[in-house]
Structure 1
């Protein structure tokens, strides 16, 4: 409204001037706070869901490992007595437990090494074929990846069957080899080779597709310049290609190690739900102690130790994720 001549001006108080001066700064601070809080608000439902689904079982598992749960307490609903660190002392002083740990570590190293080698070969081949062949290979890999573990285990049990197995038949065609009625699971080394085949079969598709996507980020000009300088084959891959895809290789290797260290289904299915002690890995050992021998607290303690061991691979994975995020 226009002021009439001679009308007195409305005096401005110092407080009102300060409020008007600081209003834009306050709004900017509010917008900045909202931008900072937005990622946490968006990720909060996922964190809460994970805490509800995984947090309570992990806490309950940890508490159970410090108790002495038997079938009496399980069926009566009474609180089990407190055992403290007794189960951990028993497990860590047991030679068979360390045998299982070593067997699990060796199995993990073999499976991860075979997975990464085959996946890298497949990824490099996919990079050099025609686009329609590449799409066909991706489709086949996705189909293999989507195959249920039970189906894959059944296929490998049929392939290695002592009476009708295709593997025995093919090896029997080689002069001087007699694999008639050969049982691959009589020898744990041969049996674990078959089980490792099931694990690698299911792991290669994810690794190959991920590495193929990483290879697509390698600048063609960089490789062409290296080839002009005389780099060829393995030398070109080692000094030019691999440094670019190294973060992806570390990520896939870490995930594969975490998955293979906790293998259970493949062994359980390949041995018909009754794995012998020679086929115990940490996941199988924990399950047997809990639900076959009914030593629930001992099985829980083994599971807790397994989780602590898996944290090593998880730390490598998270550090690489953080490093990639910082690089971007």
Structure 2
């Protein structure tokens, strides 16, 4: 009787385990290449859409800023290149620098108020009960979801000179001089209403996202702080604030961009008036370009606006990164 000590290969799979297959080597390398290319292929549609919808208009605007394009050239289909004359005229004029300073101050005030009120509202949401929190969040979402033009129209009605609700309420409260007050008659009053409008529409985004960030803070940290004798303020500064700091940095960055280019609210409410005293850079570019039919000049102002906004955001990001390095 013969005893078999080795089991013969019973299937092709057993043979492949021995590594004799010539195709065993290249397959992992091909798979690794495909895996490395997969993220770039997934990003390709987004990059293509960005280049098409954003890059091409920016390029056209840049080319237009080097042209002398008025209504006459537009009708005759004539292209007149004038080099950097548009930029020289804008940069050597006082109006551009006055509007730039106004835009920066306008953005700073609105961002500060939005972040302060939004942070307080978000912390309030974290403290409220379930029903009150749901009610407040519904109101915030409705204010946030309202179209900008519709919200601006509502504020025009509220602050109307003759039949506005605000003037009527102030008159009933004893301020009889406000019964027929024109909120669009001066620079400060117009900016006040526009600021209230922008902050009202921006606070919900900050509040809801900050509340969502507070839900990620472990409760054990508050318990440990309480055992160490920390009060409400110390718990906020040592536990809550460090967790919310990255969110506050990112949200402030977004608010700077959104408020700096707040064209619709300013232009729809009073057209940059009175006497063009409430123009910010986007409104200034539109009025100079489309309103005065000097499209090359408007394009140059738009390009400079983009550069100023990039400079402000870069300066802010530099401050944020420096603070993070100091903390680490």
Task: Please classify the TM superposition score into its range, dividing by the shorter chain length.
Answer: 0.7 to 0.9
My pick for the range that moved more, 161-170 or 297-306, is 161-170
Q: How does 1:121-200 map to 2 (within 5 A)?
A: 121-175=120-174, 178-200=177-199
What is aligned with 1:293? Answer: 292
Q: Report the Cα offset of residue 255 of structure 1.
A: 0.7
Work out the CA distance in 2 between the residues paired with 1:21 and 1:106.
Answer: 72
TM norm structure 2: 0.85
Q: Contact (CA 8 Å) 2:273, 2:279: kept in 1 or not? A: no
Structure 1 segments unaligned to the other structure (5+ residues): 1-18, 322-328
Q: How has the CA–CA distance of structure 1 residues 233 and 178 changed in structure 2, closer, same or farther, with 3 Å as cutoff? A: farther
Structure 2 segments unaligned to the other structure (5+ residues): 1-18, 322-328
Q: Contact (CA 8 Å) 2:184, 2:273: kept in 1 or not? A: no
Find the residue that maps to 1:67 and give its secondary structure.
coil
Work out the CA distance in 2 between the residues paired with 1:176 and 1:132.
Answer: 37
Q: How has the CA–CA distance of structure 1 residues 131 and 176 changed in structure 2, closer, same or farther, with 3 Å as cutoff? A: closer
What is aligned with 2:57? Answer: 57
Q: Contact (CA 8 Å) 1:247, 1:320: kept in 2 or not? A: no
Work out the CA distance in 2 between the residues paired with 1:23 and 1:92.
Answer: 67
Deviations 1:215-238 (A, max 9, x none): 111121112222332333333322
Q: Contact (CA 8 Å) 2:67, 2:79: kept in 1 or not? A: no
Work out the CA distance in 2 between the residues paired with 1:22 and 1:132.
Answer: 67
Q: Report the Cα offset of residue 314 of structure 1.
A: 5.2
Work out the CA distance in 2 between the residues paired with 1:22 and 1:83.
Answer: 67
What is aligned with 2:42? Answer: 42
Q: Report the Cα offset of residue 193 of structure 1.
A: 0.8
What is aligned with 1:30? Answer: 30
What is aligned with 1:107? Answer: 106
Equivalent residue pairs, number: 303
What is aligned with 2:200? Answer: 201
Work out the CA distance in 2 between the residues paired with 1:273 and 1:90.
Answer: 21
Work out the CA distance in 2 between the residues paired with 1:231 and 1:99.
Answer: 49
Work out the CA distance in 2 between the residues paired with 1:288 and 1:275.
Answer: 14
Q: Report the Cα offset of residue 101 of structure 1.
A: 0.5
Work out the CA distance in 1 between the residues paired with 2:117 and 2:219.
Answer: 23
Q: CA RMSD in A?
A: 2.6
Q: Report the Cα offset of residue 319 of structure 1.
A: 11
